[in-house]
Every structure is written in structure tokens, then in C-alpha cells.
Amino acid sequence: MARGGRISIQVDFSEVEKNLVASVSRVDRGTKKATIAACEAIKARSLKMVPRDTEALVKSFYYKIHGRYRNFTAEIGYGGNGDPRNPRTGQRASEYMVAVHEDLQQPHKTGQAKFLEAAIQDYQGELLIGFGSAIRQEL
């Protein structure tokens, strides 16, 4: 090589880029699956605790997944899913579910107050494990 010369190397990163894009896509799928699995786990726990006087609240459980690209959020609650009416009072579940959820003094034949909050708190310890597992399965 002559003094002061340059060496030029061309590297083709197209295959690396293709693999990275595919990996990111798999992370997206895993994140969405984990978000859905978290909602299902919270649903199962909450349905064990929700007062079942008329089943209207039970039938009103819902969740919706929003977002994309690893930025998923979940809306989860009661008073959706067609917002069924209480057969005794005619009220929609959304009209009374907050009162049933929040009133710690109200006795219930079955279930308890804070049925959704307690389910979410109970699941928190498993949240990161679930997300890590779902993403690893996709990768």
C-alpha cells in the first residue's frame, strides 16, 4: 500500500437489518399476547370476587387492547360488553358498578367490594414474568 493511501471496505448490513426488523416484529407480537394474557388473568381473578346478585356485573366485564409497536395499553373494567341491565332495578351495570366496587360497608351474599382492584393487585407480581415469557416465546 502506498504511503497515505486509504482502504475502503464495504459491508452489507441488509441481512442484519432484515433480522432486526423481524425480531422487533416478534417482540411486538409477544407484547400484545402478554397484554391480552394479563387481561385474561385479571378477568379470571376478578370474576371470582365480583358480587353476583343478578349476574349483570359479571356479564358487563370487558377489556380492550389499544396501541401498537410495543406500546400496548389495556382498558379493563365493568359496565361494558353491551352494558347489561340489572333485572331487578333496570339500571345499566355502568350506572352502579362504581358504587358496588367502592362501598366497603355494603355486605354481599357473594363476592366483595374492590373486586377489580384486588384482582389487578393480585396479578402485579406475575406481570413482568408474563411479558418476559411471551416475548421469549416469540423470539
**pTM recorded for the entire structure:** 0.81
Residue 76 has a pLDDT of 96
Q: pLDDT tens across 95-125, in order?
A: 999 999 999 999 888 999 999 999 999 998 8
Alpha carbon distance 108, 61 (integer Å): 18
Residue 58 has a pLDDT of 95
For range 50-55, the mean pLDDT: 93
> How many residues are given for the chain?
139
Q: pLDDT tens across 14-40, in order?
A: 888 888 878 888 888 888 889 999 999
- With beta carbons less than 8 A apart as the criterion, state whether 51 and 80 touch: no
Question: Which residue in 17, 12, 9, 80 sits closest to 43, CA to CA?
Answer: 80
Alpha carbon distance 136, 36 (integer Å): 16
Q: pLDDT tens across 60-93, in order?
A: 999 999 987 768 899 999 999 999 999 999 999 9
Alpha carbon distance 6, 25 (integer Å): 39
Residue 103 has a pLDDT of 94
Q: Which residue has the higher pLDDT, 59 or 107?
A: 59
**Confidence at 3, pLDDT banded by 50, 70, 90:** low
Residue 56 has a pLDDT of 95
Residue 89 has a pLDDT of 95
Phi, psi of 80 (to 5 degrees): -120, -150
